[in-house]
């Protein structure tokens, strides 16, 4: 595994732990389909939360949120629909929400986390 992918996995693990602490139930992780990958899928209250996790060691290449472009966001929404179609029993009766989570710091296990809920 390339170094950047190791960092990405570590960031996603940290993000999952962060969400669990806040009462989210993780339903799926790194779900793949033909269009791409969803980092995390969680259930929170009546909502189904799809989370894009971005991990960076520093802001030398910009803030993690700057890396989520309008195109990526649109794809995330499409992937969310694909996941709902693939998992009708989990999705039933839940509203869909798309979140972004930034993990920023040299060590993902202690890095700072920023969370934006309900992206449009």
Partner 1 sequence: MTVARTWAVALTGADGALVEVEADQSSQLPGLHIIGLPDKALGEAEQRVRGAAANCALTLPRRRVTVNLSPASLPKQGAGFDVAIAVATLATDGSLDLASLARTVHIGELGLDGRLRPVAGVLPAVLAAARAGVTHAIVPHANQDEARLVSGVHVVGAVTLGDVALWHGADLEPSEVEPVPAVAPPPARASVGDLADVIGQREAVEALIAAAAGGHHMLMCGPPGAGKTMLASRLPGILPDLDDAAALEVTSMRSLSGDGVAALVREPPFESPHHSATVAALVGGGSRVVRPGAIARATNGVLFLDEAAEFAASALDALRQPLETGAITIHRSGVSAAFPARFQLVMATNPCPCGSYGVRGGACVCPPDQVRRYLGKLSGPLLDRVDIELGLRRVSVAQASEAGGHATLSTAEAKQRVLGARSRAAHRLRDTPWSVNARVSGQWLRQGPLALASEARRPLDAALHRGALTLRGYDRVLRVAWTLCDLEGRAAPSLHDVGRALFMKRGIVA
**Contacts with partner 1: how many residues (CB under 8 A)?**
12
Within 10 Å of residue 68's Cβ, how many Cβ atoms? 17
Out of 1, 60, 88, 120, the only residue in the binding site for partner 1 (CB under 8 A) is 120
What residues between 75 and 114 interact with partner 1 by CB under 8 A?
100, 114
Q: Rounded to a whole number, what is the distance in angstroms from the first to the last CA of the chain?
A: 33
From candidates 17, 23, 33, 66, binder to partner 1 by CB under 8 A? 66
Q: 13 or 119: whose CB is closer to partner 1? A: 119
Q: Out of 7, 10, 13, 68, which residue is the one contacting partner 1 (CB under 8 A)?
A: 68
DSSP string, 30-96: EEEETTEEEEEEEEETTEEEEEEEEEES-STT--GGGG--HHHHHHHHHHHHHHHHH-HHHHTT-EE
Which residues of the shown chain bind partner 1 in the complex (CB under 8 A)? 63, 65-66, 68, 73, 100, 114, 116-120
């Amino acid at each position: 595994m390339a170094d950047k992918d190791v960092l990405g996995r570590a960031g996603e693990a940290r993000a999952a732990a962060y969400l669990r602490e806040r009462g989210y139930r993780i339903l799926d992780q790194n779900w793949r389909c033909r269009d791409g990958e969803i980092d995390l899928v969680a259930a929170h209250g009546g909502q189904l939360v799809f989370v894009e996790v971005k991990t960076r060691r520093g802001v030398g290449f910009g803030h993690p949120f700057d890396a989520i472009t309008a195109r990526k966001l649109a794809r995330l929404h499409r992937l969310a629909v694909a996941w709902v179609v693939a998992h009708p029993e989990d999705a039933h009766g839940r509203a869909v929400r798309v979140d972004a989570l930034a993990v920023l710091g040299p060590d993902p296990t202690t890095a700072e986390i920023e969370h934006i809920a309900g992206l449009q």
